[in-house]
Amino acid sequence: MTECEVQAIVEGDTPDPGRGLPVPGVLPVTTKFELGATITQDQSRFLDTYGFLHFKGVATLEEVEILRAEQDRIQAEWFAEGRESVFGIPLFWGKGGDGMPAVQRMPFTSVFSPFIRDFVRDERFLPIQSLVGKDVRVGDEEKDGVVMNRYVNVPGSVYPRLGWHTDGLRDLFYLRMPQQMLNFGLHLDRITEEDGGLRLIPGTHTQGFLSMLFRKPHFVYHRRDKKELMVATDPGDLTVHDGRLWHRVGLSTKTGMASLRRSMYVPYMTGPFEPKSPDSKTPLYHRWARWLRRLKGGR
């Protein structure tokens, strides 16, 4: 490592996994962990530096199968009801891998599934919550709740990929500064580079406010970043990322059912408790997103 590279780290520049730039005292950016009873110093230091953690095999294959089945069951109920939204949050209706109508983004799923509600509160996730602080809670009744995604690359899909964004931007639509938040993502399929998958820019959770707003056009920009890291996952893997971190979901090189990528995200929240209800209004950014989906032939 050159003197300039060391100085860049000291001054707080974003770590650069694309160039293999190591960070003194921190494990390599590609490290995958096992979730134990507590968060280790190595894991805490890794999260502070890179803004994310990757834990292998947190959910069993049996639990993964149940979660997939619950996703399908809830979707069938919503289809029969003709449901368009939950608590003011629109459903992303598009095409599934078989070409049939499918909800590609499902908010507040724990409200419709006792299994999901109990699962996200399982004691195995307590170490993750401790990363935020003593006042942390599972935010499955706030924001968009427990969200289940179904990415698929077929004609008529409104969710084949997801552009660059930070989750902290959402707070601005609620007329407040971004608050501390961790998202945990449970991955329900095996995802490699060719399958698209989660891409993130390590270290960007420490960026300034203006960089969080203007580094990239939110949601509509999909180009590869030279500093991005592709997170390859197996069913049952858990990723944790800081809401201020820049991330996206890439497009699968496959089509049809072979391109299916399912995941479940739960926000860990701090600050005032702000539950949603059937009377909640649709946030402005979701209205804008719904307009874009309709341009693609979705709802």
Question: Structural domain boundaries of the chain?
Answer: 27-295
Q: Is the pTM of this model over 0.85?
A: yes
| 179, 171 contact by CB (below 8 A) | yes
Distances (CA, A) of 34 to 22, 59, 212: 22, 12, 30
Would you state the structure tokens that stand for residue 181, as one six-digit string? 């938040």
Query: Does the pLDDT of residue 8 top 60, yes or no?
Result: no
When mean pLDDT is compared across 158-162, 172-176, 254-258, 269-273, the lowest value belongs to: 172-176
Query: Does the pLDDT of residue 40 top 90, yes or no?
Result: yes
pLDDT at 234: 98
Query: Does the pLDDT of residue 180 top 90, yes or no?
Result: no
Query: Does the pLDDT of residue 185 top 80, yes or no?
Result: yes
For 97, half-sphere exposure in the C-beta direction (CA atoms, 13 angstrom radius) is 14
Reported as type and span, the H/E element at residue 214 is helix 209-214
When mean pLDDT is compared across 2-6, 47-51, 176-180, 241-245, the lowest value belongs to: 2-6
Q: What is the mean pLDDT of residues 99-103?
A: 94
**CATH number among 3.40.50.720, 3.40.50.300, 2.60.120.620, 2.60.120.10, domain 27-295:** 2.60.120.620
Average pLDDT, the chain: 87
